[in-house]
Chain A
Amino acid sequence: MIVFDKVTKKFPLGNTALSDVSFEIDDNQFVFLVGQSGAGKTSILKMITQEIKPTSGSIIVDDFDVTDKNFSQKIDLRRKIGIIFQDFKVLSDKNVFENVAVSLKVIGADQSEIKNDVKKTLELVGLSKKETVFPVQLSAGELQRVAIARAVIGDRNIILADEPTGNLDPKTAWDIMKIFKKLEGKRTIIVATHNTDIVNSFQKRVLVLKEGKIIKDQRKGGYEL
């Protein structure tokens, strides 16, 4: 479960990213974060991963009170989260297998577990025939599949996707979203997006942000600003 309670984030130069934001996301729920650029979508994702800290309010992620002054389990928290970026952030000097395996290597998984899990996950994202291929030889859609595989492998039960289809053509974007569809109900998935069609067609919970505030929280919503 993810709980934001009256969370405010002000940056040192005075601009406010989030203002008094409160919401709860249940385990295995699928949520879209929508809003214009600068509305605060990425700030919410970064607070969940502890990249930035709120100025006030409290955040609970999977039983971790991340706003507690004595919170020292950042690494444990991050091992439960998979992140997908708009620009993929795939490691250029590693092949597809190694890119996905890194997610398990950092938690100290053994070689046989890594081999099995990577193969299964690459099958899930449709890249099982490209294990040894390097990123430079992959299309944008394939790169995003690698990023998704890296995010969902292992026990990462919270998937955060920041504009996952932002750099993709409409058809590829749909292919990518089909992978998210496969994971629905198995992981908590939060997707920050501008893609109106996808949000409307999924009919999932939508949190609408405007100028750092949640202005709508629709259980089965569409893209409305």
Chain B
Amino acid sequence: MKEIWTSIRRTPYQSLSAFLILFFTLFLSLMLFVSLTFLNSILSYLETKPQVTVYFQTKTPETQIFKVRDELMNSGKVLNLKYISKNEAFNIYKQLNKDNPLLLEMVSADILPPSLEIYAKKPIFLPEIAEYLKKQGDIDEVQYEKDIIDKLLILTNTIRRTSLIFFSYLIIMSILVLITMILFKIALKESEITLLRLIGATNFYIRKPYITESLFLGITASVLSFGIFALLVLYFNPFLQSYLKGITTLSVDVFNYQLIIWPLNYIFFTIVFISTLIFGAIIASAASYIATNKYLKV
């Protein structure tokens, strides 16, 4: 610790620059990561919303409807399926038109069609499900909003790909900038490194102070980034609550574990903090490792 502090004190501007670059990268990555996690989970949530509604003819027996329902459930493409009988449809109708007695008088349960509301596991399955339903007998109408689903599919794919490219760019850029900053720092000690090589120092011995200093800067920048991020989240929490009103839970799939990210919770914050620390440590140590390589060839 003493050696790290001495090194920072002896080259304060280079250390500060390296720290600021690390902080900028980590803070941006953190904000990007959390935003994308939220966006992805909202998209996943929305992906489950589009549905196919199939209206059967009024004379269709329930056994026929249940057969279709069971086949759909066994297809592996359906997340959820809801059968609405004639009576249930009538109840819904009555509820919707309770203030209009004239409309209620005109309609009875017999003329309302039974239906199935089908929620697909992925929007991509919806056209297949619609096609399957159209081929069945006793079907009055199949409704699904093809344009909206297609747009949603394009949007989710575009966001995922763009974020991946942007994230990769950010990592590569920050490592390159950091390598340059550390190279500046090491260049001041080029003759020392050459001397150490000539008196029998191992590569590890030479690298160690640069890597430990970078690790220190990386971890400090991670903690600071997370601290500011946490304060921002606390500040914007009321806005998030009103914006995400109606969504009870948002989660992301992490190695088959459903990590709940909304409502905000300690597990999510802990995972974000640890990930930031690891990311900061990896970037800092990788950059200093690569930077020192150049001077280890004596």
Interface of A toward B, CB cutoff 8 Å: 49, 51, 75-79, 81-83, 89, 91, 93, 102-103, 105-107, 150
Contact = CB atoms under 8 A, between A and B. Distances in A.
A75 B200 contact: yes
A77 B199 CA distance: 9
Given A51-B298, A93-B10, A102 B199 contact: yes
B231 interface: no
Contact of A106 (B191, B200, B298): B200
A106 B205 contact: yes
Q: Is the interface of A mostly helix, strand, loop or mixed?
A: mixed
Given A93-B10, A106-B205, A76 B200 contact: yes
A79 B198 CA distance: 8
Given A102-B199, A106-B196, A106-B200, 18 more contacts: A51-B298, A75-B201, A77-B200, A78-B197, A78-B198, A78-B199, A79-B200, A81-B199, A82-B199, A89-B195, A91-B195, A102-B196, A103-B199, A106-B199, A106-B201, A106-B202, A107-B200, A150-B199
A49 B205 contact: no
A151 to B, nearest CB: 8
A51 B198 contact: yes
A177 B10 CA distance: 35
Q: Which of B197, B198, B201, B202 has the most CB of A within 10 A?
A: B198
25 contacts: A51-B198, A51-B298, A75-B200, A75-B201, A75-B202, A76-B200, A78-B197, A78-B200, A79-B200, A81-B199, A81-B200, A82-B199, A89-B191, A89-B195, A91-B195, A102-B196, A102-B199, A103-B199, A105-B205, A106-B196, A106-B199, A106-B201, A106-B205, A107-B200, A150-B199
A102 B198 CA distance: 12
Contacts of B191: 89
Contacts of B141: none
B140 interface: no
Contacts, number: 36
Nearest to A94: B192
Interface residues of B, number: 13
Interface in B71-115: none
Contacts of A78: 197-200
Contacts of A91: 192, 195
A83 B298 contact: no
Contacts of A107: 200
Nearest to A80: B200
Contacts of B195: 89, 91
A109 to B, nearest CB: 12
Contacts of A75: 200-202
A52 B23 CA distance: 42
Interface string B48-61: 00000000000000
For the complex of A and B, the 5 pairs showing the least CB-CB separation, nearest first, are: A79-B200, A78-B200, A106-B201, A75-B200, A89-B195
Contacts of B202: 75, 106
Contact of B198 (A83, A93, A105): A83
A151 B294 CA distance: 26
A79 B205 CA distance: 14
A78 B205 CA distance: 14
Contacts of A82: 199
A51 B217 CA distance: 34
Interface string B180-204: 0000000000011001111111100
A204 B34 CA distance: 75
Q: Which of B192, B198, B199, B202 has the most CB of A within 10 A?
A: B199
Contacts of B197: 78
A78 B200 CA distance: 5
Nearest to B7: A93
Nearest to B191: A89
Nearest to B206: A106
Contacts of A81: 199-200
